[in-house]
């Protein structure tokens, strides 16, 4: 299983996950800045994207472990 073809995709998923987490944390920081309407809206958008990413990432990992084949639309 070490040379499974989708391991690199999961590594890319983790990198994207880290990027999303960083951007989300940065946008949360801007929410608490004094001039805050646009950054608050931005952080809400990133929160929604983050949740969608989390959901599709966990779905694709579970699906790929069961079937050992990944349709492209399941993998971010």
Q: How many domains does the chain contain in total?
A: 1
- pLDDT recorded at residue 70: 55
In a domain, residue 24? The reply is: yes
| pLDDT, one tens digit for every residue, the chain (76 residues) | 455 555 555 566 677 777 777 777 776 666 665 665 666 677 677 777 777 777 666 655 555 555 555 554 444 4
In a domain, residue 33? The reply is: yes
Give pTM, 2 decimals.
Answer: 0.35
| Residue range(s) defining the domain that contains residue 67 | 7-74
In a domain, residue 2? The reply is: no
In a domain, residue 1? The reply is: no
CA distance linking residue 47 with residue 73, whole number of Å: 21
Read off the tokens for 40.
């608050």
Nearest-Å Rg of the Cα atoms of the chain is 16
CA distance linking residue 16 with residue 2, whole number of Å: 22
Read off the tokens for 76.
């971010």
- pLDDT recorded at residue 47: 74
Q: What is the pLDDT of the chain when averaged over all its residues?
A: 63
In a domain, residue 35? The reply is: yes
């Amino acid at each position: 299983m070490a040379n499974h073809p989708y391991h690199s995709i999961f590594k890319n998923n983790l990198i994207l996950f880290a990027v999303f987490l960083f951007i989300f944390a940065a946008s949360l920081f801007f929410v608490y800045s004094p001039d805050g309407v646009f950054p608050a809206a931005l952080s809400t958008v990133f929160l929604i994207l983050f949740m969608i990413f989390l959901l599709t990432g966990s779905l694709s990992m579970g699906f790929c472990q069961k079937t050992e084949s990944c349709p492209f639309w399941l993998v971010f």
